[in-house]
Structure 1
Amino acid sequence: MENTVAQKLDALIKLQNLDSQLDEIKKIRGDLPEEVQDLEDEIAGYQTRIEKFDNELTAYKDSIKENKDNIKDYEKRIQHLEEQQMNVRNNREFDAINKELETLGLDIQVAEKRIRESKIAIEAKDDQIQQTQSVLDERQKDLDVKKAELDSILSETEVEEEKLLKQKEKAEKSIEDRLLRAYVKIRDNSSNGLAVVPIKRGACGGCFNAVPPQKRADIKEQRKLIICEHCGRIFSNVEVEEVVEEEKPKRRTSRRKSTKDAK
């Protein structure tokens, strides 16, 4: 059995009240959740950067070790060739060995140059790591403070929020899907989170634009759901503004004195 318009409005009003209470709890938190998230993302970025620097350091150290090992191999080869050079049989063999010795000497120079370059790069990378770690430590302190503040607020509102969320979940089940989707869409597009509003003093309770008398009469009858033509919010009811008439001052009457003198 389909709910009546009055029942639909009651369900929407209840849901709006619950959402408004949840919004108030979120206001207490302010921008803390976003600030905590931003700091966590920033810290993750610094950690990734330091990890990248560490990998680069490892590569430089591996390069140094590799070039040192190559130099040892070159020196062994040079020693072996020098021994061979003492026993050559002709000038051609001597020249060939001599040429190979020159090449190995150049290889050693190249390896030594690469070692020096890697050491310079390591020093620069160490400085980058220290600077990044220093900033990371500061951001971590900021995060710890923000998280402690947020956790304190959450602990104070956790029970109430959980209770409201359960009530909201129950309230949503009493609203048809199409209407619930419309309600959520209106709330998302609203700056104050109000999707269901009353008419106050002849105006929309959301955007404060005037509502024609005929439409106000239709809202009171609750024959159909009516939305504001300006902001799209759903009208819940028309609040009655009681006009208290000022009490008219009583006319003061003065007694006329008798013209006759008492005898």
Structure 2
Amino acid sequence: MTTTTRPTQPIGDLLRQWRKRRLLSQLELAGQAEISPRHLSFIENGRSAPSRDIVLRLAEALGLELRERNPLLLAAGYAPVYHETSLEAPHMGAVRAMLRQVLAAHEPYPAVVLDRYWNRVEANQPAMLFRVGVSEELLREPLNLLRLTLHPEGLAPLITNLGEWRAHLLSRLRQQVIATADPHIIKLHDELVAYPCAQPEPGIELPGPGDIAVPLRMSYGEHTLNFFSTMATFGTPLDITVAELAIESFYPADPATAEVLRTTTW
């Protein structure tokens, strides 16, 4: 299906808002989009109607995600070009199969597929680790990984470096707020910020001796498990749903963690 949300503002107003959010001058944005500053000024002031090609070039120069490009097209009088297709659609079977193949190949280490709002789409069996000790309320669908991690009835009591990990996650979410201005993401951020945390949260992530990434350290029975994680996305997506999927893969940061994961049956 195609996202057809009607614009509430003229194309010029939307462009100006995104340009200011990106801290770009008209001269800078025009240069990146390869149009004249005069033409951009006329578009923003409603004195000129941009072609569809120029709208897409401006969206690309602004670094807008696919979801944000359709409203620009609609505001300029053009049909949306990017579809948002349910993963349950028959022709998305290849995408689902690829995701499950990647998750299975990562075992015995945890991996999850997330959507734009950090809701779980798929997960492998070792990711059951992240459900241990979590309240049933937080495990209801849609299962939000950030809420599950930072909520006091979620994983938070088990995370031994909660202040550090919380600051890291909230920093990532704030970057997403800046990039998208999505009200749902802003609401999620405000909810998570209000959760209690007894540990100090670093304002700026600085590496300690030997650190190469922010670790996730959590208690599991008599063990303390140490992880680092990576995020992977589709390289050339043309569908909104696919563009917004991310695979977060967790790797053991020490031999003891690897051994626990290899010898645990989920």
User: What TM-score do the two structures reach when normalised by structure 2?
Assistant: 0.21
Greater helix proportion: 1
User: What TM-score do the two structures reach when normalised by structure 1?
Assistant: 0.21
> Which structure has the larger Rg?
1
Greater strand proportion: 2
Name the structure, 1 or 2, with higher relative contact order (CA <8 Å, separation 6+): 1
